[in-house]
Amino acid sequence: MHDKYPVRPLHSLILPKRHAFDVFDTTLDERECMHRLAEALRGDIMRADHSVGGFNFGSNIGAAAGQKIFHAHLHLIPRRAGDTPPPPARQG
């Protein structure tokens, strides 16, 4: 599904049907299915928007990490060149 408050256009959410509090509360089979769906969505997004050059892919787990919806889900956020400055890399 598309995120209700997308970070970037085509920002998608991937979630299991069974209620699980967070990704760590899902089964191995559920996580594998979520990852397969992410791969399929990645291809769909790249075909729909050729300016997509990368993705952020992950989950906020727990209120301290920014989780607002307490049902397991993964974010697949398409990124385009120049849409945000790259994070600084730390040395050593």
| Tens digit of pLDDT at every position of the chain (92 positions) | 887 877 888 899 999 999 999 999 999 999 999 999 999 999 999 999 999 999 999 998 989 988 888 899 999 999 999 887 766 767 66
Q: Which CATH number fits domain 13-80: 3.30.428.10, 3.40.50.300, 3.40.140.10, 3.40.50.410?
A: 3.30.428.10
> Is 81:53 a contact under the CB 8 Å cutoff?
yes
* pLDDT of 87: 67
Please give the Cα distance from 13 to 30 (Å, whole number): 14
Question: What is the predicted pLDDT for the residue at 66?
Answer: 85
| pLDDT of res. 9 | 87
pLDDT of residue 91: 66
DSSP 89: P
- State the virtual CA torsion across 57, 68, 6, 32 in degrees, nearest 10: 30
In the numeric block, which tokens belong to residue 6?
């997308």
Tokens of 65: 């990490």
Q: What is the model's pLDDT at position 80? A: 94
Tokens representing residue 85 in the block: 């400055």
Q: Which tokens go with 7? A: 């970070």
Query: Residue 7's pLDDT is what?
Result: 81
Note the helical H segments in the chain.
28-48
Q: Where are the domains of the chain?
A: 13-80
